[in-house]
Structure 1
Amino acid sequence: MDIRFEQVDFTYQPNTPFEQRALFDLNLTITDGSYTAIVGHTGSGKSTLLQHLNALVKPTKGSVTIGDRKIVPETNNKNLKPIRKKVGIVFQFPEAQLFEETVARDIAFGPKNFGATGAEGAKLAAEMLDLVGLDASYLERSPFELSGGQMRRVAIAGVLAMEPEVLVLDEPTAGLDPQGRKEMMEMFQHLHEERGMTIILVTHLMDDVANYADHVIVLEQGRIVKAGSPQEVFQEIDWLKAKQLGVPTAASFAEKLMAKGVAFEQLPLTAEALANDLLKGSKKAGEDQ
């Protein structure tokens, strides 16, 4: 299922003294099965764009097409509920949205709200809990007795229980330690690779973009200022620094090596790519001798 923005503007509280325009003439396509990262400073429009992805808000101008549904300013709000089953959003600190007495009931809440029976909800709860790396012993526990990382997994399982085609992640590893962050990102990569799920990642961590995304959209003041593959976007380190976006760790290290005379055909973005390039360079130097 593709998601397409065509000349999308969005203004908060239009025609009032508090009117504030947040998005300007956005044109973009998120293709089915892709892993897209959306980056930019606070206030760049990331959160507003994210809310358009499952019609939490409608464009003030232009159109957002989600699968076969086209959302325009005049679209009736009553007919948008099915979209929210197709596009699941994991908001920052999703564990704050847990509220049921047991893990099983919390995960099953969404499906039951869409008409699933008690048995269907229980089956989905067990399946999705396993998918996020927790075993069945957690099902009857209170979510509020779990660790922060476990609570987040339960909240994500609740979104996955809706069986969305697209998973939107808003800073999904915020507040986690490095190991917890790595495990969480690997879990999303598994969903992408094994289930063919479209992933949309909103993040300020450029290493995660370099390691996982296949497409990057850079926002600034409500406009798209650059888009392309990570390899294309991250080649211009001076531009990234000027925009204060951060540079992938491997690319930053490679830049320092270049200043000392080490040559790279293309700036490596990941630790693996950097190691491979250095190994190739070492072998070539040995052959030249």
Structure 2
Amino acid sequence: MDIQFEQVGYTYQPDTPFAFCALKDINLTIKEGSYTAIVGHTGSGKSTLLQHLNALIKPTAGVVKIGDRLITTDTPNKNLKEVRKEVGIVFQFPEAQLFEETIEKDVAFGPKNFGVEGEELKKVVRDSLQMVGLDDSYLERSPFELSGGQMRRVAIAGVLAMKPSVLVLDEPTAGLDPRGRKEMMGMFYDLHKEQGITIVLVTHLMDDVANFADYVIVLEKGQVIKQGLPKQVFTDTQWLTTQQLGVPAATTFAQQLMARGFQFDTIPLTTKELAQEIAKILRKSGEQV
């Protein structure tokens, strides 16, 4: 299921003295099966765009196509339930949305509201917890007895229990330590590869974009100012710096080596690519000796 934006605009409190244009003339496509990163500094429009992905808000101009559904400013809310099931959003600090007395009840809440019952519901809950690395021993526990990272996994399991084909992640590792961040990002990548889930990652961490995304969309003042493959977007590091966007750590280190005379066939984005490029240089040096 593709998601397309065609000349989409969004204005908060239109036709009032407080009107604010958050998105303007957005044209983009999030391809089915892709891992797309949306980046931009605070105020660029990321959060507003994110809420259009499952029609939490509707465009004030243009059209959002979610699969075969057309969402415009006049689309009635009563027909959007299935769209919101197909596109699951994990907001920042999702653990704050936990509320049931047991983990089983919390994860079951969404699918139960869609009519899933009995053994099917129990299976959905267990399968969803397994996808986030939690076994059946967690079912009867209170979510509020868990660590912060485990609570976040439970909240994500609640979204996965709806069996979305698209998973939208809004700064999903905010507040986690480096180990927790690595584990969380690895979990999302496994879901993408093993379950075929389309991932949309909203982040300010360029290393995560370089390591996982296959397409990047850059927002600035409510407009798309660049989009393409990570290699295309990150090649112009001066432009990234001008836009106050980070540069992947491996790329920064490669630039420092280039300033000392090293020459790379391609600019590395990840630690793995950097290691491969350095290995090439060392092999060439050995051959010359």
Regarding TM over 0.5, the answer is yes
Instruction: Report 1:1-289 matches (<5 A).
Output: 1-289=1-289
Q: Secondary structure at the match of 2:81?
A: coil
Q: For 1:167, what is the secondary structure of its paired residue? A: strand
Are 1:87 and 1:164, in contact at CA under 8 Å, matched by a contact in 2? yes
For structure 1, list consecutive stretches of 5 or more residues without a partner in the other structure.
Answer: none
Helix, strand or coil at the partner of 1:92: coil
AA partner of residue 202 (structure 1):
V
Task: Give CA deviations for 1:208-234 in whole Å, capped at 9, x if unaligned.
Answer: 000000000000000001101111100
Cα offset, 1:7, TM superposition: 0.2
1:82 partner SS: helix
Aligned equivalents of 1:228 and 1:265: distance in 2? 21
Report runs of 4+ in structure 1 exceeding 6 Å deviation. none
Amino acid of the structure 1 residue aligned with 2:248: P
Counterpart-to-counterpart distance in 1, 2:31 and 2:107: 28
Structure 2 runs not aligned, ≥5 long: none
Tell which deviates more after alignment, 71-80 or 215-224: 71-80
CA distance in 1, matches of 2:51, 2:287: 55
The CA deviation at 1:73 is 1.1
TM-score under structure 2 normalisation?
0.99
Post-superposition shift, 1:123? 1.5
**SS of corresponding position for 2:151:** helix
* Alpha-carbon shift at residue 266 of structure 1 (Å): 1.6
Partners of 2:130 and 2:265 in 1: CA distance? 43
- Cα deviation for residue 120 of structure 1 reads 2.3
TM-score, normalising length: structure 1: 0.99
Find the aligned partners of 2:80 and 2:125 in 1 and give their Cα distance: 25
Deviations 1:68-88 (A, max 9, x none): 101011111110111010000
User: What CA distance in whole angstroms lies between the structure 2 residues aligned with 1:265 and 1:283?
Assistant: 13
Give a deviation string over 1:257-286, Cα, whole Å, max 9, x none.
000000012210000000000001110111
Q: Deviations over 1:162-190 (max 9, x none)?
A: 00000000000000000000000000000
How many residue pairs get aligned? The number is 289
CA distance in 1, matches of 2:81, 2:15: 27
Identity of aligned residues (%): 69
Which amino acid in 1 is paired with 2:149? G
Q: Distance in 2 between matches of 1:198 and 1:268?
A: 25
Q: Distance in 1 between the 2:195 and 2:134 partners?
A: 18
Q: In structure 1, the residue corresponding to 2:255 is in which secondary structure?
A: helix
For the Cα contact (< 8 Å) 1:38–1:218, is it kept in 2? yes
SS in 2 for 1:104: helix
d(CA) in 1 for partners of 2:119 and 2:272? 45
Secondary structure of 1:89's aligned partner: strand
1:97-147 CA-partner distances (Å, limit 9, x unpaired): 000010000000000011111432221111111110011111000000100
